[in-house]
Amino acid sequence: MTNFVYIATSLDGYIADRDGKLDWLEDIPNPDQSDFGYEDFMKGIDAVLMGRITFEKALTFNHWPYEKPVFVVSTRLKKVPTEVEGKVTLLDGDLEQLAADMEARGFHHLYIDGGKTIQSFLKNDLIDVMIITTVPVLLGGGTRLFGDLIRPLKFRHQKTMVYNDFLVKSIYTRIR
């Protein structure tokens, strides 16, 4: 099983501003209308596993942005909203067990999304690859990508791509 993080962060390590907004991702220079490798990444993913807050954000978009099955971790949500029924499954419980269950169901490559959710996975050493795109802005506060860990986790730098002298996308793989 391989668990991936694929996320955009500000220079100071935030994935959403203080109001939970993503406006700072909309000002990216993109003369070629590139997706910066997102579709290629998604082709290699079996399912997306995200936190409840990221899910609630995705529900506000004009259209549901995922073609792959989506699993949402939440202790509060008890019912999938009707507009995404059949596309979304709710999960709750021990993360290691959840990851093992997903593997047993044939989901070998998971895209893990949402700050607290990524942090929970990292605390359990369940992240294998991190693809992190840094946007050159200081947000000064907001939702953190990373949090405290019980122990250091080492990664190998695999590759870095620079887009339009603006975005810096780096791929890191876990060394175990």
Ligand X SMILES: NC(=O)c1ccc[n+]([C@@H]2O[C@H](COP(=O)([O-])OP(=O)(O)OC[C@H]3O[C@@H](n4cnc5c(N)ncnc54)[C@H](OP(=O)(O)O)[C@@H]3O)[C@@H](O)[C@H]2O)c1
Q: Give the pair of three-digit tokens for residue 124.
A: 């359990």
92 Cβ neighbours under 8 A, 6+ residues apart: 73, 74, 75
Minimum CB separation of residue 14 from ligand X in Å reads 8
89 vs 120, beta carbon nearer ligand X: 120
C-alpha 21/C-alpha 42 separation (Å) is 23
Minimum CB separation of residue 155 from ligand X in Å reads 18
132 vs 175, beta carbon nearer ligand X: 132
Minimum CB separation of residue 47 from ligand X in Å reads 16
- Under DSSP, the state recorded for 125 is T
120 vs 173, beta carbon nearer ligand X: 120
What's the angle, vertex CA 154, arms to CA 153 and CA 155, rounded to 5? 125
75 vs 82, beta carbon nearer ligand X: 75
Give the residue ranges of DSSP H helices in the chain.
Answer: 38-43, 52-58, 95-104, 115-123
C-alpha 145/C-alpha 10 separation (Å) is 9
121 vs 128, beta carbon nearer ligand X: 121
Minimum CB separation of residue 78 from ligand X in Å reads 10
Minimum CB separation of residue 91 from ligand X in Å reads 7
Q: Give the pair of three-digit tokens for residue 140.
A: 């000064």
- Give the binding site for ligand X (CB under 6 A): 7-8, 15-16, 20, 22, 50-54, 57, 73-77, 92, 95, 113-117, 120, 143
